[in-house]
């Protein structure tokens, strides 16, 4: 027994895992980089973040891991994607959004998407996300029951979107059926440790008023978030104005959808008064800079949004429009795009971008009490990034390094709720060889059968 230097007691507390790291960036409190600290995990939670010498005298753990050249940070939160679409990675590129959707993606989905496709594609996406330091993802796709099951089996944290779209698909034929099947998924995962559900009406131009009103009522009743593509392109807005005389955001406001539970994805077209409206409503904006650049959709004005006090989080969108799920790439793109679009090099500094990829995502999900930062009592959702590489030395500012220098290949280890899911870049709950073989077999079949969509 050793005296506890802080409390003066002689108690050594038992815990499970101790991770000693050269640097720890807890995100909360903001602006802090801790050196030679240890993160202590007990069961699924963070029990302490303390200097290593203090950990020696206060904690006895069954496992100790030394990461002498790594930085620990909270797991990244990928706030928008369509995980299963990883199976369509590179299927159709260099096209504007509506051509890409109408002539390639929607026909491919009609021809190939089924439960097995979603299981393979979602597992492929989760494998990529884990190797990229992502511990939570927000999804919108058909067969949300399958996405939820795959994420839960692998041990990944997810907000699974209960998709709704006006036209029939292999998942459902009518808005009633989309909503009923979505509610069954909600019921199944209610209270689950890792899986949360959210309503995910596809976009203003693909979902009509009646089902949106129903979703508004149900979202209030069940306390569910609403995740939706909004104002992705100038065409979306001008087409709505031409047909209805109203901009989509104004219509959603009339329908009562602008609330703190709304996650508005893309938002590349915004008037000043719309930014005021979003700020007053407490809605969240999900910025997907690489998808917006690749489809030439537009630029989300994140500086103006953040200045107005709006919570902005980051997402990759799917591997069909990005074409990866790399949150390190997304952070760098977000920083660069904010600077060049405002001609202001001080825009979107590294620390702000890192917050967008972590705690801001947790806030958008209403999960900032359980994840998004390395704080005592939160789930141990932790990522280790190696700075001991030729590409990473010297290190003056670890925060700058994560945004401007590190790549996802430098992610070594990942824990979700205290369980290690990536060890020295090897996935612990996914058989990589089998996954690769399954996905390659499925893609061969797509190549052989695809007509006029590639
Ligand atoms: Zn999307």
C-alpha Rg value of the chain to the nearest Å: 22
Tokens 């995990």 correspond to: 41
Q: Is the confidence at residue 48, as pLDDT, over 80?
A: yes
Contacts of 191 (CB under 8 A, 6+ apart): none
**Which one is predicted more confidently, 106 or 402?**
402
Helical (H) or strand (E) element with 135: strand 134-141
Q: Is the pLDDT of residue 4 over 60?
A: no
Q: Residue with structure tokens 């050594």?
A: 12
Contact (Cβ atoms closer than 8 angstroms) between residue 278 and residue 286? no
Ligand 1 centroid–CA 21 distance in Å is: 36
* Long-range contacts, 256-262 (Cβ 8 Å, 24+): 256/213, 256/216, 257/212, 257/215, 257/216, 257/226, 257/228, 258/283, 259/226, 259/283, 260/284, 261/219, 261/223, 261/224, 261/225, 261/226, 261/366, 262/225, 262/226, 262/228
* Cα gap 65→422, rounded to integer Å: 14
Judged by phi (left if over 0) then psi (alpha if -120 to 50, else beta), residue 298 lies in left
204: its two tokens: 């203003």
Residue 90 CA to ligand 1 center (angstroms) comes to: 16
- Ligand 1 center to 111 CA (angstroms): 20
Which residue is listed with tokens 């007691």?
9
Instruction: Tell me, in angstroms, the distance from the centre of ligand 1 to residue 276's CA.
Output: 24
Q: How far does the centroid of ligand 1 lie from the alpha carbon of residue 49, in Å?
A: 36
Task: Confirm if 345 and 426 have CB atoms less than 8 A apart.
Answer: no
8 A C-beta contact, residue 444 and residue 438: no
234-267 confidence digits (pLDDT tens): 999 999 999 999 999 999 999 999 999 999 999 9
Distance CA 221, CA 181 (A): 17
How many angstroms separate the alpha carbon of residue 337 from the centre of ligand 1? 19
Residues 61-91 pLDDT 10s: 999 999 999 999 999 999 999 999 999 999 8
318 CA to centre of ligand 1 in angstroms:
6
**Cα(150)–Cα(115) distance, rounded to whole angstroms?**
11
How does pLDDT run across 333-370, given as a tens digit for each residue? 999 999 999 999 999 999 999 999 999 999 999 999 99
Over residues 44-60, the mean pLDDT reads 97
Residue 227 CA to ligand 1 centre (angstroms) = 10
Mean pLDDT of the chain: 95
Ligand 1 (ion): residues with CB under 5 Å are: 317
Full-model pTM = 0.96
Q: How far is the CA of 317 from the centre of ligand 1 (A)?
A: 5
From the list 250, 253, 245, 248, the residue with the least C-alpha distance to 237 is: 248
Contacts of residue 307, defined as CB under 8 A and 6 or more positions apart, other chains included, come to none
User: Tokens 């219509």 correspond to what residue?
Assistant: 251
Query: What Cα–Cα distance (Å) separates residue 220 from each residue in 34, 215, 224, 426?
Result: 41, 8, 7, 41
CB 327 within 8 A of CB 76: yes
CA of 80 to the centre of ligand 1 (A): 6
How far apart CA 304 and CA 258 sit, in angstroms, is 18
What confidence tier does 2 reach under pLDDT thresholds 50, 70, 90?
very low
Residue 10 banded pLDDT, cuts 50, 70, 90: low
- What pLDDT does 286 receive? 98
**How far is the C-alpha of 22 from the C-alpha of 38, rounded, in Å?**
9
Q: Look at residue 1 in the predicted model and tell me its pLDDT.
A: 37
What separation in Å is there between the alpha carbon of 205 and the centre of ligand 1?
14
pLDDT at 452 over 90: no
Largest Cα separation within the chain, whole Å, is: 76
Give the distance (Å) from ligand 1 centre to CA of residue 425. Answer: 28
Structure tokens given for 26:
């807890």
Contact 138, 227 (CB under 8 A): yes
Distance 81 CA to ligand 1 centre (A): 5
User: Within 167-208, where are the H helices?
Assistant: 175-189
Strand order in the sheet with 411-416: 45-51, 34-42, 13-24, 59-74, 382-386, 411-416, 419-423, 426-427
């Amino acid at each position: 027994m050793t005296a506890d230097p802080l409390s003066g007691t002689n108690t050594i507390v038992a815990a499970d895992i101790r991770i000693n790291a050269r640097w720890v960036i807890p995100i909360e409190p903001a602006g802090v980089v801790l050196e030679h600290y240890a993160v202590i995990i007990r069961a699924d939670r963070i029990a302490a973040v303390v200097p290593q010498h203090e950990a020696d005298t206060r904690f006895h753990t069954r496992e100790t891991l030394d990461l002498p050249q790594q930085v620990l940070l909270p797991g990244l939160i990928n706030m928008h994607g369509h995980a299963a679409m990883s199976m369509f990675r590179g299927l159709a590129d260099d096209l504007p959004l509506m051509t890409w959707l109408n002539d390639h993606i929607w026909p491919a989905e009609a021809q190939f998407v089924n439960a097995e496709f979603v299981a393979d594609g979602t597992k492929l996406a989760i494998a990529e996300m884990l190797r990229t330091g992502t511990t939570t993802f927000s999804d919108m796709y058909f067969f949300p029951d399958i996405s939820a099951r795959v994420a839960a089996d692998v041990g990944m944290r997810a907000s699974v979107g209960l998709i709704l779209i006006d036209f029939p698909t292999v998942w459902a034929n009518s808005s009633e059926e989309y909503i009923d099947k979505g509610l069954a998924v909600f019921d199944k995962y209610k209270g689950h440790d890792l899986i949360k559900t959210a309503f995910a009406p596809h976009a203003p131009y693909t979902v009509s008023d009646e089902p949106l009103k129903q979703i508004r009522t149900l979202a209030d009743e069940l306390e569910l978030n609403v995740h939706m593509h909004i104002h992705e392109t100038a065409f979306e807005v001008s087409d709505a104005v031409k047909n209805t005389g109203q901009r989509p955001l104004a219509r959603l406001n009339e329908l009562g959808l602008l609330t703190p539970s709304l996650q508005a994805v893309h938002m590349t077209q915004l008037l000043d008064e719309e930014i005021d409206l979003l700020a007053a409503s407490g809605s969240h904006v999900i910025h997907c800079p690489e998808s917006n650049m690749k489809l030439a959709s537009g630029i989300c004005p994140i500086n103006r949004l953040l200045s107005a006090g709006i919570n902005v989080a980051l997402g990759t969108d799917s591997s069909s429009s990005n074409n990866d799920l790399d949150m390190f790439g997304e952070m760098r793109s977000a920083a660069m795009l904010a600077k060049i679009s405002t001609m202001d090099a001080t825009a979107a500094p590294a620390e702000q971008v890192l917050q967008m990829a972590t705690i801001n995502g947790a806030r958008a999900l209403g999960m900032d009490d359980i994840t998004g930062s390395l704080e005592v009592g939160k789930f141990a959702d932790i990522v280790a990034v190696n700075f001991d590489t030729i590409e990473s030395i010297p290190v003056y500012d670890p925060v700058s390094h994560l945004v401007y220098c590190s790549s996802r290949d430098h992610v070594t280890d990942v824990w979700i709720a205290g369980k290690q899911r990536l060890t020295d870049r090897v996935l612990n709950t996914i058989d990589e060889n089998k996954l690769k073989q399954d996905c390659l077999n499925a893609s061969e079949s797509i190549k052989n059968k695809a007509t006029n969509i590639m």
